[in-house]
C-alpha cells in the first residue's frame, strides 16, 4: 500500500507542531487520529519515522528524508487542486459568427479571401470572478 496524503499531512503537522496534540489541533482532528495516521505511515514505509517520548518527538534520519518528500508531494497536490479550481471558474461559450447579435459590426479581412473575421477568438471577459472565453465554432 502507498502512503496516503492524510498520512503525509499528519507527519508534516507533527513535525511542524512538535507534538501529536498540536498537530491534531492544527489538522482539526483528534490526537488519536494523528497517532493512527503516523503508525499507518510507518507501517506502510516499513520504518520508524519518529522517535517518541512522553515529552518529545524527533525525526529519525529516514524520517527527515521522508519529510522532505512528503512536503514536495503535498505541495504538488495543492498545485493540482489549484489547477482544477481554476478550470471550474471558466465558462467556455461557442458561437457561430453568422448568428452574431444585431449591432455587432463585422471587420473586413485584409487577406486574399476577403469576408468578415470574428473578434479575436481568445478574448476573455471577467464576469463576477468567472472567466468567459469566446470560441468561434467551425
Residue 42's contacts (CB-CB under 8 Å, 6 or more residues apart) are 48, 49, 50
Joined together, the cell numbers standing for residue 101 give 447579435
Query: Would you state the CATH architecture of domain 5-87?
Result: Orthogonal Bundle (1.10)
Which position has the grid cell 477568438?
121
Which position has the grid cell 493540482?
80
**Extended beta strands in the chain, E state:** 50-52, 57-59, 90-95, 107-108, 116-117, 124-127, 130-136
Chain-centroid distance, C-alpha 123? 26
Give the side-chain half-sphere CA count within 13 A for 108.
Answer: 3
How much is the pTM? Answer: 0.62
Residue limits of CATH 1.10.10.10 in the chain: 5-87
pLDDT tens digits for the chain (138 residues)?
799 999 999 999 999 999 999 999 999 999 999 999 999 999 999 999 999 988 889 999 999 999 999 999 999 999 998 887 776 655 666 666 566 656 555 554 454 555 555 455 455 444 445 566 666 665
Which position has the grid cell 524520517?
63
Amino acid at each position: 500500500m502507498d502512503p496516503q496524503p492524510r498520512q503525509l499531512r499528519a507527519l508534516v503537522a507533527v513535525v511542524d507542531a512538535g507534538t501529536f496534540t498540536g498537530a491534531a489541533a492544527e489538522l482539526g482532528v483528534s490526537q488519536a487520529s494523528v497517532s493512527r495516521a503516523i503508525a499507518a505511515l510507518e507501517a506502510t514505509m516499513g520504518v520508524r519515522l519518529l522517535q517518541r517520548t512522553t515529552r518529545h518527538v524527533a525525526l529519525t534520519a529516514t524520517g527527515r528524508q521522508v519529510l522532505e518528500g512528503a512536503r514536495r508531494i503535498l505541495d504538488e497536490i495543492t498545485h493540482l487542486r489549484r489547477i482544477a479550481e481554476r478550470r471550474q471558474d471558466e465558462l467556455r461559450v461557442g458561437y457561430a459568427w453568422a448568428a452574431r447579435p444585431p449591432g455587432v459590426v463585422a471587420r473586413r479581412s485584409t487577406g486574399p479571401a476577403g469576408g468578415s473575421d470574428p473578434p479575436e477568438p481568445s478574448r476573455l471577459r471577467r464576469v463576477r470572478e468567472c472567466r468567459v472565453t469566446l470560441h468561434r465554432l467551425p
